[in-house]
Structure 1
Amino acid sequence: MGDVYQTPACLSIQRVSGELPPLPPAVAEAASILDSEDSSTLGGGGEPAVSGRPSSCSEGPGIFCSLLTGYLLLTRFWPLAALYLAWLTIDRHTPERGGRRSQWVRNWTVWRYMRDYFPISMVKMADLDPKRNYVFGSHPHGIMCFGTFCNFCTEATSFSRMFPGITPHQATLNGLFRLPIFRDYLLSGGGCSVSRSSLGHILSERGTGNAVIIVVGGAAESMAGTPGDHSVLLKDRMGFIRLALRHG
C-alpha cells in the first residue's frame, strides 16, 4: 500500500496510494542553488539536519564515560586509561571516514528487549539496489531517538536481512565522538559524523551499498515532541536534499 518517490540518491518512502506526489518544492529549490551554494556544511549555518547541543539521551552517558575515564587516571589503572587516550588521538578521524561498526554489538540481545518494550518495528515498502548509495531522512527525533537508533544502529528489526547489501550509517553530532568510551559505543552501532565531509566520504569514496541516515529535525526537534502531535523541523535544513542531489 505504498509508493516510492526517489531522487538521485535520496529515498523517501511514503504511505500513499494512487499517483506519486509532485516534485517537492524543497527538491526544486535545492536543485536551483546546488551549483551556486558551496558552504562547508550541509545545513543553514550549521551541520546538516542536526544542530545545537546534544540531547540528554547522549549527553548523560557521554558525561559519565568522560568522568569514568578521568577517575581511572587517578587509580592504579591509569596506564590503561592513558593508553586509551593515546589511542583516541590516533583514531580521531574515524568518525569522519565512515566509522567502525561491530556486528557483535549490533546483535546484542538487549536491543531486542528494547524493540519489544516500545514496541519498534520496520516496515519494508521497497527494495533497495545495493549498487547505489542512499540518503535517508529520519523523523521524528523524539526525546531519545529510540526509533532511529533501534532500526539503523542495531539488528533488532533485521535491517540487514530486509535490505541485503545495504550498510546503514547513522549520522550524529561530531562532538559526541570526542567523548571517551561513549564514542566507541556510537561507532560500534554504525555511527558517523554528520559533517558534510563525513557524509560525502561515505557516498563517494566507499563504493556502493551505503545508506546515510540523517535525523532531519535534529536535536531541536526533540523539544517539539508532544504525544499525538507529529512535527518535523525543515526550515533552513535542506542540506540533506542538496547532499542527495550532489552525489546522485
Structure 2
Amino acid sequence: MNLHFGKVLSTCSSLLCLSMKVLGIEFAPLMVPMHRRYETLAVASWFFLAAFGGLTSLLVSLYLLFTRLWWLVPLYTTWTYLDRHVGESGGRTNVWVQNWRWWNHLKNYFPVETDYSQGFSLDPTRNYLFCCFPHGIIPVGPFTTLANTWSEFRKSYPEFTVKLAVLQALVLLPIVRELGLAYGAISCSIKSLNYELSRPEGGHIVNLMPGGAVEAYNSQPGKYKFVVKKRKGFVKVALKNGSPLVPVISFGETDLFRQIDNRVLRNVQEFLRKYFFLGLPPVVFMGRGFFQYSFGMIPRRKPITTVVGTPIEVTKLENPTNEQVEELHDKFVQALVALFDEYKYKYVENPEDQHLELQ
C-alpha cells in the first residue's frame, strides 16, 4: 500500500514539474523552484521599468497634479531641470543600488556569461570604449554581463568603473532616471563620452551600442544584423581620447523576443520614434508571460553569451581627419566581422548558414 502511494505521489510530482500545452498555449509547470520565480519576477520588473517606466512615471505625475500631492510634481520637475546635466558629467552611481541581489536574479534568469578567451588584459590606467552589438529590443547582454556588479566580468576587473551609455531621454525621464543613474547609466551624447573617456586617472569602461535604438528593428530570433556602416561618431570619439575600441557581441540577444517585421509598420514606427518617443523605438514584440511560454512581454529564458574581443589600439588625435576616421572605422568593422565569424561556431545554431549582415 505504501509502495503504491509512493509511486502515485512520485507520478503526481513529475506531472506538476512538466509544462502543459492547452489550446496551443504552453503553460509553465505548477512546481517551479523558488529561485526561478525570483528570476522571472526580477526580469519582468526590470523590463517593465526599462520599456514603460518613463511613460508610467509621466502618467503618475499627471495624476498627482489633481491630488493634494500636486506640489511634488513642480518640486521634482525643478530638481530634474537643475540636475539635467548629470548624465553628461559622469552620472551618479550608487554602490548600494548596484549591489542589489535583484541584479543577480536578473543575470541568472537567462542565464548570461562572458567570454573573453581571446587572451588579452585591460590596463587599469587607460579608458576603454566597448562597442556592443546587437542592441536587441533592450540590450540585455551589456546590461547584465558587463555593467552588472554581480557579473563574472566585473569580478575579474574590479579596478574598473563601468558605465552604460544610454539615450539622453532615459536620464531625463522622471523616476526611471534615478534608478538608471544609480546603476551606472550615462548619456550616449558626444559630450558625455568625451567626459568619461578623458578621465586622466584611467580605469573607466564605457559600454556603447553604436547601432543605437534603430538596431532594435533588426532583432529577430537567429538573425544578426548590425547597424554600423554609417555609424562613425564613436570612432571619432575614440581617436580624440586615445581610447582603445573593443568589439563586443552578445550571442543570443536576438532570441529573447519575436517581433512583427513589416515595411508599412516600420515606417509608422520610425515616424513615432523620431517625433513622439524621444528616440525610443516603438517595436511590436512578443515574448512570454508569467505563467505560460507562448506569448507575453517578458523576455524568453534564452542563454546569452557576451564575447569581448581584443582591444584595438588607438592613437590620440586632437583633430582626426575624415581619412583617419575612415581607416579606424574599417579596421573596427573588420575586427567585428572576424569576431562574429570565429565565435558563431560556438554560440549559434547552424553556424554554416549564419552570416553577419551589416547596415
TM-score, with structure 1 as normaliser: 0.72
Give the structure 2 partner of residue 115 of structure 1. 107
Give the structure 2 partner of residue 171 of structure 1. 165
Q: Give the secondary-structure state (helix, strand or coil) at the position aligned to 1:138.
A: strand
Give the structure 2 partner of residue 162 of structure 1. 156
**Aligned partners of 1:65 and 1:144: how far apart in 2?**
19
Residue 59 (structure 1) shift: 4.5
Give the structure 2 partner of residue 34 of structure 1. none
Q: Which amino acid aligns with 2:239?
A: L
User: Normalized per residue, which structure has more helix?
Assistant: 2
Give the structure 1 partner of residue 344 of structure 2. none
CA contact under 8 A between 1:107 and 1:155: conserved in structure 2? Answer: yes
Between 189-198 and 75-84, report the one with greater CA deviation: 75-84
4+ runs of 1 displaced by more than 6 Å? Answer: none
CA contact under 8 A between 1:153 and 1:191: conserved in structure 2? Answer: no
Larger radius of gyration: 2
CA contact under 8 A between 1:57 and 1:144: conserved in structure 2? Answer: no
**Aligned partners of 2:48 and 2:213: how far apart in 1?**
10
Distance 1:206 1:192, change over 3 A: farther
Residue 101 (structure 1) shift: 0.9
**Aligned partners of 1:198 and 1:159: how far apart in 2?**
23
The answer to whether structure 1 residue 236 and structure 2 residue 230 are counterparts is yes
Q: Which amino acid aligns with 1:164?
A: P
The answer to whether structure 1 residue 67 and structure 2 residue 67 are counterparts is no
CA contact under 8 A between 1:170 and 1:190: conserved in structure 2? Answer: yes
Give the structure 2 partner of residue 51 of structure 1. none
Q: Which amino acid aligns with 1:116?
A: N
CA contact under 8 A between 1:127 and 1:163: conserved in structure 2? Answer: no
Alignment of structure 1 residues 1-248 onto 2, 5 Å: 58-125=50-117, 126-205=120-199, 207-248=201-242
What are the superposed Cα offsets for residues 1-51 of structure 1, whole Å, 9 maximum, x if unpaired?
A: xxxxxxxxxxxxxxxxxxxxxxxxxxxxxxxxxxxxxxxxxxxxxxxxxxx
Q: Which amino acid aligns with 1:61?
A: G
**Aligned partners of 1:219 and 1:78: how far apart in 2?**
34
Q: Which amino acid aligns with 1:242?
A: K
Distance 1:228 1:57, change over 3 A: farther
Distance 1:101 1:152, change over 3 A: farther
Q: Which amino acid aligns with 1:106?
A: Q
CA contact under 8 A between 1:166 and 1:209: conserved in structure 2? Answer: yes
TM-score, with structure 2 as normaliser: 0.51
* Alignment size in residue pairs: 194
Q: Which amino acid aligns with 1:88?
A: T
**Aligned partners of 2:74 and 2:145: how far apart in 1?**
35
Higher relative contact order (CA 8 A, sep 6+): 1
Between 218-227 and 124-133, report the one with greater CA deviation: 124-133
**Aligned partners of 2:49 and 2:231: how far apart in 1?**
22
Residue 155 (structure 1) shift: 1.5
Q: Give the secondary-structure state (helix, strand or coil) at the position aligned to 1:122.
A: strand
Between 89-98 and 226-235, report the one with greater CA deviation: 226-235
What are the superposed Cα offsets for residues 47-83 of structure 1, whole Å, 9 maximum, x if unpaired?
A: xxxxxxxx99745221011212222233222333332
Structure 2: unaligned runs, 5 residues or longer:
1-46, 243-359
Q: Give the secondary-structure state (helix, strand or coil) at the position aligned to 2:87.
A: helix
CA contact under 8 A between 1:135 and 1:211: conserved in structure 2? Answer: yes
Q: Which amino acid aligns with 1:169?
A: K
Residue 209 (structure 1) shift: 0.8
Q: Give the secondary-structure state (helix, strand or coil) at the position aligned to 1:121.
A: strand
Q: Which amino acid aligns with 2:65?
A: L
**Aligned partners of 1:57 and 1:241: how far apart in 2?**
31
Distance 1:103 1:66, change over 3 A: same
Structure 1: unaligned runs, 5 residues or longer:
1-54
**Aligned partners of 2:99 and 2:115: how far apart in 1?**
19
Q: Which amino acid aligns with 1:190?
A: G
Q: Give the secondary-structure state (helix, strand or coil) at the position aligned to 2:162.
A: strand
Residue 213 (structure 1) shift: 1.1
